[in-house]
Amino acid sequence: MSALDGAVELLDRSLAYTRVALAAVSDDDLHRPTPCAGWDLDRLLAHMEDALDAFGEGAAGEVRLRGAAVAAAPRVRRLQRKACDLLGVWSDDPPPRTRIGSHPVDTSVLALAAALEITVHGWDVARSLGLDHPVPDDLADRLLPVARALVTPADRGRRFAGPRPGAGRAGPAVRLLAFLGRDLTGPVGEDSPNTDTGPPVAS
């Protein structure tokens, strides 16, 4: 299996996980707080839609950098459709390199970033809704080295809070979420800052 094949397989699993949470969202939920401090569910869904658009472009070889989309209730339906479409786009022989703005990256790295982003924000949505929908440990175990490779100290305080302490002996899902600044015990809405997500890759 090539690096890209493995990344696309991981993306498939991340989409399957996150579609469950998206299916539970209703218009009445859009103002719920999320684990991203200062973001309600509407704003998080706007960010997720923007990211899905970018990851779809990545399969064609270039990601156009953009600002956040305007939030609206129909976004939930668009997200569900785009999540279903994304895997097909990535399975259709993408180029080996993709440009993000002026920066070329291996396409497999972008697919891994997509899997990480989609999974973690799927957990954010589930937590916002109060769903019992943990990240499967086998999925988290594969995403944890991706997170460690992609999230740098420069991302802390801007796109992510600092790593949460005390997760060293926990399972893979807890370690992944703690590394990304998510608080599994405190009130929803006081976790990672996400004040500026920057380019639409793992955030």
All structural domains of the chain, each given as residue ranges with its CATH number in brackets, are 3-179 (1.20.120.450)
pLDDT of residue 166: 61
- Give the 3-state secondary structure of the chain: CCHHHHHHHHHHHHHHHHHHHHHCCCHHHCCCECCECCCEHHHHHHHHHHHHHHHHHHCCCEECCCCCCCCCCCHHHHHHHHHHHHHHHHCCCCCCEEEECCEEEEHHHHHHHHHHHHHHHHHHHHHHHCCCCCCCHHHHHHHHHHHHHHCCHHHECCCECCCCCCCCCCCHHHHHHHHCCCCCCCCCCCCECCCCCCCCCCC
pLDDT of residue 104: 80
pLDDT of residue 174: 92
Task: For the chain, 203 residues long, give each residue's pLDDT as a single digit of tens.
Answer: 687 788 889 999 999 999 899 889 988 898 999 998 788 998 899 889 888 888 877 666 656 655 444 444 577 778 877 777 777 777 777 777 777 777 788 878 888 999 999 999 999 999 999 999 999 999 999 999 999 999 888 877 777 778 887 666 679 999 999 999 888 876 675 555 554 443 334 34
pLDDT of residue 145: 95
